[in-house]
């Protein structure tokens, strides 16, 4: 069974499917007290899609030794590595004046920003990369003659690669600044999250238990890198090892998003197996 929206909006399986899986797990454990399990901690976080789901997460109060997020794709896909991610903001301050008397005076921030965008590497975009390839992605741009702002996201599985991307942006700005000396161009980089693999590899029992649980569910598990991030990226960095489990859906963030009911059931069965494996 495949579940979709009517095509006019997102389905929202990312991450309603994960919530449904967790709530079904709890309902099943309550209904079947004979299922042996250890102490479980459950949490739901807002703002995961903008990378801020773990901003106010109190790991000490949560009190778990490790965790799992249910925020993945099709059945069987397990994740223990994500992009390392930064956000970049470029601002151009121009100078406005009546266009009739603008010669040698006006500095059009929109035009300057357009030049910057045209200089971004064309072979390092989301639409031209796959697998472990990094990208620089301009997400949003606003502006007027006076001021223009460009928001970008920087992604690389190697954290050191983010420094290379930052240097690339700095070089572009230096070159464009030389062409428009009267403009003021600034760059700000903000850390978002880091690849969780380095820390999770130090805790193989956590990932081994997940793989075994998915195998027992008949989900044919395989480890896949996430070309994105989860709350688990931040939580792992904060000291709570948190790999990711599939929810059964695909085409997230698009109107063609879909969810396999069978895949969701496999996710639930995997969760049930995890709590039993780790008794």
Scanning the structure block, which residue is given the tokens 């006006």?
A: 106
User: pLDDT tens digits for 137-179?
Assistant: 999 999 999 999 999 999 999 999 999 999 999 999 999 999 9
Per the CB < 8 A criterion, the answer to whether 260 and 2 are in contact is: yes
User: pLDDT tens digits for 247-263?
Assistant: 999 999 999 999 999 99
Per the CB < 8 A criterion, the answer to whether 207 and 228 are in contact is: no
Which band of pLDDT confidence, cut at 50, 70 and 90, is reported for residue 229? confident
Same domain? 117 vs 209: no
Range(s) of the domain holding residue 65: 2-82+195-277
Computed over every residue of the chain, the mean pLDDT equals 95
Query: Which of 132, 159, 193 is at the close of a domain?
Result: 193
Same domain? 22 vs 123: no
Same domain? 66 vs 202: yes
Same domain? 78 vs 90: no
User: pLDDT tens digits for 8-27?
Assistant: 999 999 989 999 999 999 99
**Residue 278 clears pLDDT 80, i.e. is over it:** no
Q: Which of 69-78, 214-223, 227-236 has the lowest mean pLDDT?
A: 227-236
User: Residue 115 and residue 278: Cα distance in Å, rounded?
Assistant: 56
């Amino acid at each position: 069974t495949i579940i979709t929206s009517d095509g006019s909006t997102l389905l929202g399986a990312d991450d309603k499917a994960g919530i449904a899986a967790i709530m079904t797990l709890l309902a099943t454990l309550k209904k079947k007290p004979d299922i042996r399990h250890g102490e479980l901690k459950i949490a739901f976080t807002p703002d995961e899609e903008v990378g801020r789901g773990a901003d106010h997460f109190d790991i000490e109060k949560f009190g778990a030794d490790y965790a799992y997020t249910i925020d993945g794709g099709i059945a069987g896909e397990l994740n223990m590595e994500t992009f390392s991610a930064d956000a970049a903001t470029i601002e151009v301050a121009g100078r406005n004046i009546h266009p009739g008397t603008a010669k040698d005076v006006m500095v059009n921030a929109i035009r300057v920003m357009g030049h910057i965008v045209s200089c971004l590497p064309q072979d390092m975009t989301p639409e031209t990369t796959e697998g472990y390839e990094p990208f620089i992605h301009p997400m949003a741009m606003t502006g007027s003659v006076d001021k223009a702002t460009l928001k970008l996201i920087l992604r690389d599985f190697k954290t050191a690669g983010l420094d290379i991307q930052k240097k690339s942006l700095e070089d572009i700005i230096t070159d464009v600044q030389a062409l428009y000396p009267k403009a003021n161009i600034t760059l700000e980089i903000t850390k978002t999250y880091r690849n969780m693999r380095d820390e999770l590899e130090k805790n193989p029992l956590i990932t081994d238990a997940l793989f075994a649980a998915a195998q027992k569910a008949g989900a044919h598990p395989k480890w896949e890198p996430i070309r994105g991030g989860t709350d688990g990226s931040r939580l792992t960095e904060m000291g709570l090892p948190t790999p990711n489990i599939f929810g059964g859906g695909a085409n997230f963030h698009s109107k063609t998003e879909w969810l396999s009911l069978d895949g969701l059931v496999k996710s639930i069965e995997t969760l049930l197996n995890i709590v039993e494996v780790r008794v």
